C-alpha cells in the first residue's frame, strides 16, 4: 500500500515527459549486451575520445589540486585567468579579438551551454532552427524551454549545409535561435567563409541568434583548418560560439568548455549558471588554462592521428566496395547503408553478425536515415579489422 501511495504522490513535471528519448543510451545497452556474451566488440558508435589527456595538463591538475585556494568556492562565473586563456587561444588561432571579462562564459562542458542557451532565449511557442541530422542534445534544451523545433535538412547535394532559401518567411519570422555545427557531427562536413557570411546576413535580417557548436574546431583534414564562426564580420552581433576541451585535448571527462561571443548572451548564460552552479573546481580551471596557453604540439599530433585513421578506414572500405566521401573534419565518418536496410536495421546486423557497433543515422534526425556514423576512435588496426568483418557479410558489390 505504501508503494502505491508513493507512486501516486510522485508526479513528474510536464517538462520531464517532453524530453526527447536518449537514443544513444539504447545503442550503448545493445553493445554492452553483446560484449557481456564474451564477444570481441569493436565500438565505433560513440564519440568518446580514446586517447589520454596530455601529461603536462594532468601534471598541472595534480599540482593545482594541492593549492588551498582551490579548496574554497571558486568565483561563480569562473576564474579570470581561464577566460584570459580562452581569449588568447582565439586570438592566436583565429585572429578574433575577445574581451575575456564580458565575452567569455565558462561551462561544465560544451553540452551544458548548448542546453542552457535555449533556456536563456526561448519562450514557449518560439521556434528554434535545428540541423537535421544534428547533435541530439540541441533538442533537449529546446524541450526544456517549452519551445518548438523546425528542422533544417542537411543533404549531401548541398554539402550538408542548411539551405536558408528553403525556410519560409513565416517560419523565419517566428525563429529566435538557430544551431549549427561545423566541423559537423555526424556528417564530418566543414563550412566555408562564404556560408558563415550568408549565415550572419540571414540572422541579422530575421533577428535570429546563432549558436555555433565548434566542438570539433581543432580537427580538420587535408591541410584545411576549420573556420570559426566568429571570424565572420558581424558574427559577434548575432551569436555565440561553443567550444569544448573534450576533443581538442582529450579532456572529455574533465567537463570544461566555454561560450564566446555576444556580450549580452554571455551575460544571460552566466546568470542562468549562477542559479545552477558554483563554477568548476579551480584546479581543473588552472589545468584548462595551461591546455589553452601551453604547447599545442599535442593538438597537431592528435589531428594527424585522426587523419591517419581516416585513411586506414577508407582504404579498407574501398577494398570491400563500401563507397563514401571522406570527412573534411571531426572524428566521424558518414556512410550510406546498403540498399534494402534502414539505418537501425543495418546497425543491428553489424552488431549481431560482425560485432561492430555503428550509430544509426536516424538517431540524429529523419534526414539521417540511410546512413550510419562511425567514429575514428580506435587504432588503425582495429578500424581495419572492423571493416574486414563487415566485408565478410558480402553486403557491398
Cell of 311: 585513411
Q: How far apart are CA 205 and CA 191, in angstroms?
A: 21
- Sequence-separated (6 or more) residues with CB below 8 Å from residue 255: 108, 109, 112, 280, 284
From-to residues of CATH 3.90.1150.10 in the chain? 18-47+298-391
Cell of 40: 570481441
CATH code that applies to domain 18-47+298-391 = 3.90.1150.10
Whole-structure pTM value: 0.94
Beta bridge partners of 373: 334, 359
Q: Strand pairing of 239-244 and 104-107?
A: unpaired
Q: Within the chain, which residues score under 70 in pLDDT? A: 1-7
CB atoms within 10 A of CB 277: 16
Displacement of CA 14 from its chain's centroid (Å):
27
Q: What is the DSSP string of 196-218?
A: HHHHHHHHHHHT-EEEEE-TTTT
- pLDDT tens-place string over residues 298-315: 999 999 999 999 999 999
From-to residues of CATH 3.40.640.10 in the chain? 55-293
**Using alpha carbons only, how large is the chain's radius of gyration in Å?**
22
* Residue-wise burial string across 205-240, b where 16 or more C-beta atoms lie within 10 A, e elsewhere: ebebbbbbbbbbbbbbbeeeebbbbbebeebbebbb
**Domain spanning 55-293, CATH class:** alpha beta
Q: What is the pLDDT of residue 3?
A: 52
CB atoms within 10 A of CB 377: 20
Q: How far apart are CA 39 and CA 22, in angstroms?
A: 25
- Sequence-separated (6 or more) residues with CB below 8 Å from residue 83: 100, 101, 104, 106, 258
Q: How far apart are CA 272 and CA 90, in angstroms?
A: 25
Judge whether 85 and 293 are in contact, CB under 8 Å. Answer: yes
Amino acid at each position: 500500500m505504501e508503494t502505491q501511495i508513493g507512486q501516486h504522490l510522485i508526479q513528474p513535471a510536464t517538462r520531464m515527459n517532453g524530453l526527447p528519448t536518449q537514443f544513444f543510451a539504447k545503442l550503448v545497452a545493445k553493445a554492452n549486451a553483446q560484449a557481456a556474451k564474451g564477444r570481441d566488440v569493436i565500438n565505433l558508435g560513440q564519440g568518446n575520445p580514446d586517447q589520454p589527456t596530455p601529461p603536462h595538463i594532468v601534471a598541472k591538475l595534480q599540482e593545482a589540486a594541492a593549492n588551498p585556494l582551490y579548496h574554497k568556492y571558486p568565483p561563480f562565473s569562473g576564474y579570470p585567468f581561464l577566460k584570459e586563456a580562452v581569449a588568447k587561444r582565439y586570438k592566436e588561432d583565429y585572429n578574433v579579438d575577445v574581451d575575456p571579462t564580458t565575452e567569455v562564459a565558462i561551462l561544465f562542458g560544451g553540452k551544458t551551454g548548448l542546453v542552457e542557451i535555449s533556456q536563456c532565449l526561448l519562450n514557449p511557442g518560439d521556434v528554434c532552427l535545428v540541423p537535421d541530422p544534428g547533435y541530439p542534445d540541441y533538442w533537449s534544451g529546446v524541450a526544456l524551454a517549452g519551445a518548438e523545433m523546425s528542422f533544417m535538412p542537411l543533404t549531401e547535394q548541398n554539402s550538408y549545409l542548411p539551405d536558408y532559401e528553403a525556410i519560409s518567411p513565416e517560419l523565419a519570422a517566428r525563429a529566435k535561435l538557430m544551431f549549427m555545427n561545423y566541423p559537423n557531427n555526424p556528417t564530418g562536413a566543414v563550412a566555408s567563409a562564404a556560408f558563415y557570411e550568408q549565415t550572419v546576413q540571414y540572422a541579422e535580417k530575421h533577428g535570429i541568434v546563432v549558436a555555433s557548436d565548434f566542438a570539433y574546431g581543432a580537427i580538420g583534414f587535408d591541410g584545411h583548418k576549420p573556420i570559426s564562426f566568429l571570424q565572420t564580420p558581424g558574427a559577434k552581433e548575432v551569436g555565440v560560439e561553443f567550444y569544448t576541451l573534450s576533443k581538442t585535448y582529450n579532456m572529455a571527462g574533465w567537463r570544461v568548455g566555454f561560450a564566446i561571443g555576444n556580450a549580452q548572451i554571455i551575460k544571460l548564460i552566466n546568470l542562468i549558471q549562477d542559479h545552477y552552479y558554483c563554477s568548476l573546481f579551480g584546479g581543473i580551471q588552472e589545468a584548462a588554462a595551461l591546455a589553452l596557453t601551453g604547447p599545442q604540439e599535442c593538438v597537431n599530433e592528435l589531428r594527424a592521428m585522426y587523419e591517419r585513421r581516416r585513411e586506414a578506414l577508407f582504404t579498407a572500405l574501398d577494398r570491400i566496395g563500401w563507397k563514401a566521401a571522406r570527412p573534411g573534419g571531426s572524428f566521424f565518418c558518414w556512410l550510406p547503408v546498403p540498399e534494402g536496410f534502414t539505418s537501425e536495421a543495418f546497425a543491428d546486423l553489424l552488431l549481431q553478425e560482425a560485432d561492430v557497433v555503428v550509430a544509426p543515422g536516424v538517431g540524429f534526425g529523419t534526414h539521417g536515415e540511410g546512413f550510419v556514423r562511425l567514429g575514428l576512435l580506435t587504432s588503425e588496426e582495429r578500424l581495419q579489422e572492423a571493416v574486414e568483418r563487415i566485408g565478410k557479410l558480402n553486403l557491398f558489390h
